[in-house]
Amino acid sequence: MKSEFLVLSDAPVSLRGDRLDFTRYADALADVITDEATETPFTIGVFGPWGSGKSSMLRMLDQRLAEEHAERVVRVHFNPWVHRREPNMLLPLLHTLHDTLAEDRGDRFRAVVGKLGYVIANLTSDALLKKLSGGAVTMDRIGELAERYAEQRGKVESEMRNLRRTLQEQADDVAAKGSRLLVLVDDLDRCEPHEIIDLLESVKLFLDLRHVLVVIAVAKNVVDRGVAVKYKDFGFGPDKVVEIGDEYLDKMIQLPLYLPPIDAGGYLSGLGLTGELAAHAGLLREIVAPNPRRIKRVLNTCSILRTVTRSDPGLRLDILIRLVVLRVQSPELYAALAARPGLAAALEARYGGRLPIDNPGRLIELYGQAEAEAMKTAVQKFYRSQGYLGAVFSGNVFTEVQDELSRYIMMLGS
């Protein structure tokens, strides 16, 4: 039987599928990038938390430029997460630039491609020679390999010293053909902290050039984590790490764009909820975070669980929705509920003013000698810890299914 619920893809959306009202930002950024008055080098930062739509924003911008400025802007798409196993982000970044220029339909950048290929070959020869010399070789080959290694190593060091100048010359050649280079960096959030800083430093050192623009989509907190790793030996506290992260980005970013939180209610309305899920749209609007990715995860999980449990009419969708939201948005609280299911009803009573939190005798009466103190500690930890929890634990729904809550949690996993 076909499910009446939606199953939603998390792929970035295009201009024609824009439910986030991001087209206005894509159009504004396209104007900045193509405006002759925009001086280069120029770096744009698109900031937003995980799942807020940064990838969609970049896709919309790319689509607008492709439709209206394909010859004017050479768009270089770089995903550092794909190259996360590389020892340094610079080489895959140069490879991506080389391949993009080589694919130009008009073959306008043949000379640039040739020069970049030569630079990349010299920079990679060091690693290749190390791999070669690491195998079993005869004694009479060692001297030859050593000479080759020294020669190539000298080329590597020379190329690194001259790389910025070389890249500027190539950017000038691209500009002479009537184009600007635009490097679009996405999925930086997924990388390890040291990889994030590595990529940002490569961009600053080698792409801060005339005729080059860069758009970096990233969550600010992941930059802070990268800074914390880089400066861990200095013993900076969290506030200082955030301050250094701000300074780090201020030196790189000329135009910071902070994506606003979405209207969760409007976003849900645009998804076309049907059936039982539509009947609980009011609850969803109250408790889901204003984050497209998290909303989709909640709806997809609720959809599949309700479909596979359709033969069990005793299971309540409003309970499933609350638990799924907790699992997605408050994993620590959900883990505490999985370990102690009675905590849900206790929090419900606390929000309803029915739990005598300061009455030890009554707590022992409710939860027993062994559990009373642990329950009190858990309730105090999570009560009002997040604003949306008041709506999750309103009424008596968890109290009504208290004896069956373990069954719900078993479906979601602990």
The answer to whether the CB of 182 falls within 8 A of the CB of 74 is yes
Residue 151 shares a structural domain with residue 235: yes
**Domain boundary residue among 239, 258, 277?**
258
The answer to whether the CB of 251 falls within 8 A of the CB of 78 is no
Residue 396 shares a structural domain with residue 320: yes
Within a domain: residue 246? yes
Residue 77 shares a structural domain with residue 208: yes
Within a domain: residue 43? yes
Within a domain: residue 152? yes
pTM: 0.80
Residue 66 shares a structural domain with residue 132: yes
Q: By residue range, what is the domain housing residue 405?
A: 264-412
What three-state secondary structure class fits 66?
helix
Residue 359 shares a structural domain with residue 233: no
**Domain boundary residue among 258, 276, 295?**
258
Is the pLDDT at 87 greater than 70? The verdict is: yes
368: Cβ contacts below 8 Å, ≥ 6 apart: none
The answer to whether the CB of 253 falls within 8 A of the CB of 44 is yes
For residue range 361-373, list pLDDT tens digits in order.
Answer: 999 999 999 999 9
Is the pLDDT at 126 greater than 60? The verdict is: no
Among 288, 320, 322, smallest CA distance to 307 is for: 320
Q: Give 280 or 142, the one with higher predicted confidence.
A: 280
Among 385, 281, 301, smallest CA distance to 343 is for: 385
For residue range 147-160, list pLDDT tens digits in order.
Answer: 554 555 555 455 55
Residue 343 CA to residue 362 CA, distance in Å, equals 16
Helix %, strand %, coil % for the chain, to 5? 65, 5, 30
Within a domain: residue 405? yes
Residue 213's pLDDT is what?
96
Residue 313 shares a structural domain with residue 174: no
Within a domain: residue 3? no
Residue 367 shares a structural domain with residue 331: yes
Within a domain: residue 1? no
Within a domain: residue 360? yes
**Domain boundary residue among 211, 242, 258?**
258
Residue 272 shares a structural domain with residue 212: no
Within a domain: residue 404? yes
- The DSSP string of 106-152 is T-TTHHHHHHHHHHHHHHHHHHHHHHHHTS---HHHHHHHHHHHHHH
Q: Give 103 or 414, the one with higher predicted confidence.
A: 103
- The DSSP string of 360-402 is HHHHHHHH-HHHHHHHHHHHHHHTTSSTTHHHHT-TTHHHHTG
The first and second tokens of residue 172, run together, are 């000038």
Residue 304 shares a structural domain with residue 379: yes
Residue 212 CA to residue 73 CA, distance in Å, equals 10
If one counts the domains in the chain, the total is 2
Which is it for strands 255-258 and 73-78: parallel, antiparallel or unpaired?
A: unpaired
State mean pLDDT over 137-144.
48
Is the pLDDT at 131 greater than 80? The verdict is: no
Residue 181 shares a structural domain with residue 323: no
Residue 191 shares a structural domain with residue 304: no
Residue 334 CA to residue 322 CA, distance in Å, equals 10
State mean pLDDT over 23-30.
95
State mean pLDDT over 43-49.
93
Backbone angles phi, psi at 44, to 5 degrees: -110, 135
Residue 51 CA to residue 35 CA, distance in Å, equals 30
Q: Place 414 in a pLDDT band, splitting at 50, 70 and 90.
A: low
For residue range 282-295, list pLDDT tens digits in order.
Answer: 999 999 999 999 99
Residue 345's pLDDT is what?
96
What is the percentage of the chain residues whose pLDDT exceeds 90? 52
Residue 359 shares a structural domain with residue 306: yes
For residue range 216-243, list pLDDT tens digits in order.
Answer: 999 888 888 887 787 777 777 878 877 8
